[in-house]
Amino acid sequence: MSELVTLLVTSVLINNVILNQFLGMCPFMGVSKKKSSALGMGVAVVFVIVVAALVTYALYYLVLVPIGLEFMELITFILVIASLVQLTEMFIKKYSPSLYKSLGVYLPLITTNCVVLNVCLVNITNAYDFSHMLVYSVGTPLGFALVLYIFSTIRERLELSNVPAAFKGNGIALICAAIMSMAFSGLAGIV
Amino acid sequence: MLDTILIAVVMMLVLGALLGLGLGFADRFLKVEADERVEKVTSMLPGYNCGGCGYPGCSGMAEAMVTKEVNTFLCKPCKPDKKQEIIDYLKNTPGPDGSTVEIKG
């Protein structure tokens, strides 16, 4: 049990997928301009990753291993992820057109969000059992959503502050991300 | 060796078919009723998604015209005959509420 808690804290904070592993930078820079769209993106990514991890885990151990096609994991996982993102897109389009608009091109781009594939592949390479897999696949996107949200609150305030002309926009945002990354590395002592 | 390739191909086909079927069903349940003029106008626009009109893409521009958000034709790369075609189409096709759209050239 305590091992699972450790894994959760590690995947959310210490080994944070954006600030420590530098994955998923595209939506991190792209949809962090507004709090509401950052939250929407976070929820969408949590959903996609949890379902994708469950499906790919089952696919790997129930289909690929028995027929001896472990080497096909990459291409089958991509297929599953792409379909799931498509499903999420339809769902959001139907139930929240405003969120659909504010996410724009970044919604279909979850497909190529490396966090999703990373979680699915790490579940396999680290040979996690079911409970570890579940905790890791919930923790990682939660860390993603958390950092994306914190970053969007910072960026909303950056809009109002007096930034030197050369750093306006993405420049100062990247510097903030670097400072956040350094701050998060201080959490490494928790566990 | 050949066996493995064959199994891999069949497996991919089955998996693709299953996922495609699932998406097909989902599409039926999650369908959004949209004003069909938006789609029609989008298909008549050049489709470069250049952003020159100030909208994120051609579909955004088409939606703005159909919902009367703009009443001038903002698309710059559009060919003159296509442009006239879009203006005529919007003038002659009533929407769900029965009203038509007048766009200035």
The domain ranges of chain A are 2-189
Q: Which residue of A has its CA nearest to B21?
A: A83
Compute the mean pLDDT over every residue in chain A, rounded to the nearest whole number.
89
Is residue B84 in some structural domain?
Answer: yes
Q: Are residues B20 and B41 in the same domain?
A: no
Q: Lowest-pLDDT range, A32-36, A179-183, B13-17?
A: A32-36
Contacts of A30 (CB under 8 A, 6+ apart): A106, A109
Residue B71 has pLDDT above 90, yes or no: no
Give the span between the Cα atoms of A7 and A128, in whole angstroms.
11
Asked, for residue B103, whether it belongs to a domain, the answer is: no
Provide the pLDDT for residue B17. Answer: 94
Asked if residue B104 has pLDDT above 70, the reply is yes
Name the band, by pLDDT with cuts 50, 70 and 90, for residue B105.
low
CATH code for the domain of B70: 1.10.15.40
- Answer whether A142's CB lies under 8 Å from A9's CB: no
pTM of structure: 0.75
User: Do B70 and B53 belong together in one domain?
Assistant: yes
Is residue B29 predicted with pLDDT exceeding 70?
yes
DSSP code, position B1: -
Q: What is the mean pLDDT of residues B47-51?
A: 80
Distances (CA, A) of A172 to A26, A168, B55: 16, 6, 26
Question: Are residues B15 and B40 located together in one domain of the fold?
Answer: no
Structure confidence by residue, pLDDT tens digits, A67-106: 888 888 899 999 999 998 888 888 888 888 888 877 777 7
Position B61 in a domain: yes
Same domain, B41 and B67: yes
Most trustworthy range by pLDDT among A92-96, A131-135, B40-44, B87-91 = A131-135
Indicate the burial class of B12 (C-beta count within 10 angstroms; 0-12, 13-18, 19 or more): middle
Residue B104 within any structural domain of the chain: no
Q: Is residue B46 located within the same domain as residue B24?
A: no
Torsion, Cα of B23, B26, B32, B36 (10° steps):
50
Q: Quick one: B84 and B43 in the same domain? A: yes
Q: Is A74 at the interface with chain B, CB within 8 A?
A: no
Residue A27 banded pLDDT, cuts 50, 70, 90: confident
Q: Find the domain containing B49 and state its range.
A: 36-92
Residue B68 falls within a domain, yes or no?
yes
Question: Which of B16, B26, B32 minimises the CB distance to A87?
Answer: B26
Asked whether residue A64 carries a pLDDT value surpassing 80, the answer given is yes
Co-location of B40 and B88 in the same domain: yes
CB–CB of A90 and B12 under 8 A? no
Q: What is residue A78's predicted lDDT score, i.e. its pLDDT?
A: 92
Taking CB atoms and an 8 Å limit, are A87 and B22 in contact across chains?
yes
pLDDT-above-90 percentage for chain B: 15
Instruction: Verify that B24 and B52 share a domain, yes or no.
Output: no
B30 within 8 A of A93, measured Cβ to Cβ:
yes
B42 and B59 share a domain?
A: yes
pLDDT at B35 over 90: no
Residues B27 and B63 in one domain: no
Residue B12 has pLDDT above 80, yes or no: yes
Complex ipTM: 0.70
Domain membership flag for residue B105: no
Give pLDDT, residue A179: 94
Q: Are residues B61 and B14 in the same domain?
A: no
Mean pLDDT of the A111-129 span: 91
Given CB atoms, is B9 within the 8 Å cutoff of chain A? no
Binary contact (B30, A94; C-beta < 8 A): yes
Maximum average pLDDT range among A53-62, A109-118, B85-94: A53-62
> How many other CB atoms are found less than 10 A from the CB of residue A158?
18
Averaged pLDDT for residues A128-152: 94
Nearest to A76 among B4, B15, B23 (CB): B15
Q: Are residues B61 and B87 in the same domain?
A: yes
Q: How many domains does chain B have?
A: 2
